[in-house]
Structure 1
Amino acid sequence: MLVQDVTNSAIQRTPRTASICLTLDMGARDDPANASGLAHLLEHALMAGPVQGKHSLSEFVERAGGRTNAETGLERMLFYAQVLAEDLDEVTDLLIRAVITPEFDGDILSAERAVVARELDAAAADPADVVQDAFLASLFPRHPLGRPVGGTTDSVRDITGHAVRAHHDLMFSSRRTAIAVAGPRAPRIDLAGPAIRAGGTAARVAAPLGPVHHEEIHWPAEYSWVCVGGRSAAAGSAERSRYEVLAALCGASPFSPLYRTLRNEHGLAYSFQSWHRGYTEAGAWRVLIGTDAAHGPAVVELVTTVLRELAERGPSSDDLHAAHRQVCSALVFDTEDPLEHARRLATGAVTGEPFSTDADTALVRAVTREDISRTAQHILRDLVVTVRPRPTR
C-alpha cells in the first residue's frame, strides 16, 4: 500500500477558495398568516433576479465556476456562495446587492412562483418530507413554528409581487443581518455602502405555546415514515447540548442503543436519523425512521423502549463517551468545512450567540448520565408520533 504524505502540500496551504454566507434573522414563521410561504418565495426571487441589470447572482457565480444556493428555515434565511479566492470581492459585493438591494423583476417572480409550486408538489409526494411537517404541526399546533416553511400551493399562488417587495423591505429594515466569510482573507468591499448599513436590530417576539397535539395513528399499506419525538430546549439554552447528546444516542451510528436495538437485534429499520433543532420558544427533538407498515407499531414501541431505558438508567459510560465524541467531532468537522463554518458564524452573529467550537464542546462534554436520564424523561412525558403517508380509505 502506498501512503503519500500530503499534510504540507495540500492541507496546510493557503485556501484557494472562499465561502460566503449572508444570514438574516427572519424566516418562514414570520410570514403573515394569510401568506404562508412568502419568505421562501422571496428567497427564490432574490436568487433568480438580475443584479446590476445583468445575470442573476446564481448565474454569475456558476459562470465563474463557483457554487451558490439559499435556504429558508423557520427562523432564518441563508444565502451563500463558494468561489475561487480571486472572485471573493466581486461575488461578495454581488451577493449583498442581490439580497439586500434587489432589482425585482415581475416576469422572474411569476416564473419562480411556478417553480415553487412544483417544489411543493415534489415535497408533497415524498412522505419523508410530509411526515416532518406533520410532526412540527403536532408539536406546535396553531403556532408559527407549526407552519410548513414553503407554504401551500394555494397560499403561494395568491402572493402578489407587491407583497414580496413589502416583506423584503420589512425584513431588511427591522431584523439583524450578518455576513461571514471563511477563506484566505476578508473581502475588499465598501463597508460604508448603503447595502452594508441596511438592517435592523429588532429581536423576535416569542409567541405563547399551547399543548401539543396527538393525532390518531393509522398505518398505510405501503412503506412509511414515522417521526417520534417531543419538544426540547430552545435555541440559546444551555440544555440544548443534552438533546444533541440524546440524539446521538438514538442516531444511526452503530454505537447507539437505538441502532443496536432496531438494526442489530430486530432488523426492523434500514434508514433512520435523529436530531435536535432549537427555536425561540422551544426546540424539536425527533427520530425519523423509514419502515414497512407491517412493522411500524413495533418500530415505535422499540424507540419508546430505548427512550424509557435511557430515562430510567441513563446510558452506559461507554455509550455516553461515544455520544460525546460524536457531537464534538461534528462541531470540529463543521469548523473545518469552510461553508459550514461561514454559515455557523453568520447565524451566530444574527442570533447574538457567537459560534465557538470550544464553548460548545465544553457544554457537550459536561452532559452527564443524569442529564440524559432527565432529558429522555422530558421527551417521554409528551411523546408525539406522526406517520405518513396517510392510508387511503
Structure 2
Amino acid sequence: MEFQKDTLKNGVRLLTTPMPHLGSVTAMIGFGAGSRCETKDIQGIAHFTEHMIFEGTKRRPSTLAISSELDSLGAQFNAGTSQEMTVYYVKAAAKNLPQILDVLSDIVFNSKFDKDRIDMERGVILEELKMYKDEPKSWVYHLYEELLYGDHPLGRLVLGTEETLGSISKDDFFSYLDKWYRSKNITVAVAGKIEEEQALEQIRGVLGDLSAKEVGEPQVFKPAQKEPAIMLEERKTDQTHFILGTRAYHRNHPKREALGVLVTILGGGMSSRLFEQIRVQRGLGYYVDAGWDNFSDAGSVLITAGVNNQRVEEAIKVI
C-alpha cells in the first residue's frame, strides 16, 4: 500500500493514503505526547486532556453538539492516550472529509476547558481508574511497568492517581497544551477514498496557519536494575494473573522485526509454544500470551498468563 509523506511549513507532518476502492475516509490527528511527558504532580493530564477535548468549543459548545454533528454523518470517532502519543480520529463517508477535518481541528485546538466540565470529567476518570483497578488481568500490567521502569514516567499510570487527578486545574491543561500540542509535534493521517492533492489542500486549510513552535523532549529512560525483581499484590481471586518479562529492544532497533517473529513463535497464537504447553498439554490456564512492549528508547518482552491459584509455580517453571 503506497502512501505520501509531506510536511507543512509549520512542521505538521502529513500522511495520505488513497484507497479508491473504499467509500469512506478516516482522518486522524496525533500528537507525540503521552503520559511520559508528564511531571509527577500532574500525572494523568495527557489522558485527562484527551477526555476534555470532546467537552466543547465556542463553535460546538458541548459534548452533545460535537457528537450529534458527527453522528449525523454516520461517523465513527474516538481517541486514545498511551505513554508516548495521543490520537483523535473520525471515520465517515469520503464526501465528508472537509467537515471531519474541521471538527477535529476545532476540538483539538479550541476546546474551552470549562471548570464545571473539568470537575464532571474528573469524576468520570476516577471511575475509569476504579474499573481498571478492579480487573486483575489489566492491573497486573501496571504492576509490571512500575517494577520495570520505577519512578520514571513510563512506570506510572496513564490514567493518573486519585491525588493527581483531584488537583489538576484549568491552568494545568493550558500549560500542558502549550508545551506539547505544537505544530512540530503533530502528525495528520488521512486514508480512504481521497484525491491526494485535494486532501492535502484541505489539511493545509485547517492546520496550515498554526504557528511553528519547537517541542521539548520527554525524560530519557536509563535502566538502573542490576538483578531480578518481583512485585506481588494479594487479592481474593479464583485465578492468579502474572507477567514474566525482561528488557528488550526499543521501537526502532534494527533487529525489531526478528524480535517480533520470535515473540510470535513463543506466544502469538494457538500454535505457539506457550499456548501448546500451558493450555493444551497441561490445562494450567485459559490464556497465555507473549508480547513486545516498545517505546522510543526502551522495551521489554513479556509473557502474560492467568492460571489456577494452586498451579502458579508449575506454570512459571514451564514458561
**Fold equivalence (TM over 0.5):** yes
Paired with 1:177 and 1:263, the residues of 2 have a C-alpha distance of 44
Contact 2:42 2:164 in 1 (8 A): yes
RMSD: 2.3
Residues 1:265 and 2:272 aligned together:
no
Structure 1 residue 208, shift from structure 2 partner: 2.5
Amino acid at match of 1:211: Q
Measured against aligned partners, the alpha-carbon deviations of 1:303-352 in whole angstroms (never above 9, x if no partner) come to: 1xxxxxxxxxxxxxxxxxxxxxxxxxxxxxxxxxxxxxxxxxxxxxxxxx
Query: For the structure 1 residues 301 and 51, does the alpha-carbon distance in structure 2 shift closer, same or farther, using more than 3 Å as the test?
Result: farther
Match of 1:209 in 2: 223
Match of 1:50 among 38, 52, 57: 57
Match of 2:245 in 1: 229
Paired with 1:49 and 1:291, the residues of 2 have a C-alpha distance of 45
Query: For the structure 1 residues 59 and 43, does the alpha-carbon distance in structure 2 shift closer, same or farther, using more than 3 Å as the test?
Result: farther
- SS of residue in 2 equivalent to 1:197: coil
Paired with 2:221 and 2:20, the residues of 1 have a C-alpha distance of 48
* Residues 100-249 of structure 1 aligned to structure 2 (within 5 Å): 100-173=109-182, 176-185=185-194, 186=196, 187=199, 189=202, 191=204, 193=206, 197-198=210-211, 200-202=213-215, 204-205=217-218, 206-211=220-225, 214-215=229-230, 217=232, 222=237, 223-249=239-265
- SS of residue in 1 equivalent to 2:204: coil
TM-score where L is the length of structure 2: 0.84
Contact 1:36 1:155 in 2 (8 A): yes
Match of 1:35 in 2: 42
Contact 2:248 2:301 in 1 (8 A): yes
Match of 2:11 in 1: none
Query: For the structure 1 residues 196 and 116, does the alpha-carbon distance in structure 2 shift closer, same or farther, using more than 3 Å as the test?
Result: farther
Paired with 1:83 and 1:261, the residues of 2 have a C-alpha distance of 44
Structure 1 residue 219, shift from structure 2 partner: 6.4
Paired with 1:294 and 1:182, the residues of 2 have a C-alpha distance of 50
Structure 1 residue 174, shift from structure 2 partner: 7.2
Match of 1:65 among 55, 70, 74: 74
Structure 1 residue 114, shift from structure 2 partner: 1.0
Query: For the structure 1 residues 52 and 195, does the alpha-carbon distance in structure 2 shift closer, same or farther, using more than 3 Å as the test?
Result: farther
Match of 2:15 in 1: none
Q: Which moved more, 1:12-21 or 1:76-85?
A: 12-21
Measured against aligned partners, the alpha-carbon deviations of 1:334-374 in whole angstroms (never above 9, x if no partner) come to: xxxxxxxxxxxxxxxxxxxxxxxxxxxxxxxxxxxxxxxxx
Paired with 2:316 and 2:120, the residues of 1 have a C-alpha distance of 42
Contact 1:276 1:286 in 2 (8 A): yes
Structure 1 residue 70, shift from structure 2 partner: 0.7
Structure 1 residue 149, shift from structure 2 partner: 0.6
Contact 1:209 1:281 in 2 (8 A): no
Q: Which runs of 5+ in 1 are unaligned?
A: 1-11, 304-393
* Residues 9-24 of structure 1 aligned to structure 2 (within 5 Å): 14-24=21-31
> Greater helix percent: which structure?
1
Query: For the structure 1 residues 107 and 59, does the alpha-carbon distance in structure 2 shift closer, same or farther, using more than 3 Å as the test?
Result: farther
Match of 1:95 in 2: 104
Amino acid at match of 2:240: S
Contact 1:19 1:182 in 2 (8 A): yes
Count of equivalent residues: 292
Structure 1 residue 285, shift from structure 2 partner: 1.8
Residues 1:25 and 2:32 aligned together:
yes
Measured against aligned partners, the alpha-carbon deviations of 1:99-131 in whole angstroms (never above 9, x if no partner) come to: 133233222222111111110010010111210
Structure 1 residue 90, shift from structure 2 partner: 0.3
Structure 1 residue 145, shift from structure 2 partner: 1.0
Paired with 2:241 and 2:154, the residues of 1 have a C-alpha distance of 21
Query: For the structure 1 residues 13 and 237, does the alpha-carbon distance in structure 2 shift closer, same or farther, using more than 3 Å as the test?
Result: closer
Match of 1:300 in 2: 316
Contact 2:27 2:101 in 1 (8 A): yes
Measured against aligned partners, the alpha-carbon deviations of 1:63-109 in whole angstroms (never above 9, x if no partner) come to: 32111111110011111111111221101121012113323322222
Residues 1:86 and 2:95 aligned together:
yes
Structure 1 residue 201, shift from structure 2 partner: 4.6
Query: For the structure 1 residues 256 and 141, does the alpha-carbon distance in structure 2 shift closer, same or farther, using more than 3 Å as the test?
Result: same
- SS of residue in 2 equivalent to 1:271: strand
Q: Which runs of 5+ in 2 are unaligned?
A: 1-18
Query: For the structure 1 residues 53 and 21, does the alpha-carbon distance in structure 2 shift closer, same or farther, using more than 3 Å as the test?
Result: closer
Structure 1 residue 192, shift from structure 2 partner: 5.0
Amino acid at match of 1:83: A
Paired with 2:112 and 2:233, the residues of 1 have a C-alpha distance of 48
Paired with 2:231 and 2:113, the residues of 1 have a C-alpha distance of 45
Structure 1 residue 293, shift from structure 2 partner: 1.1
Contact 1:21 1:79 in 2 (8 A): yes
Query: For the structure 1 residues 221 and 194, does the alpha-carbon distance in structure 2 shift closer, same or farther, using more than 3 Å as the test?
Result: closer
Structure 1 residue 163, shift from structure 2 partner: 0.5
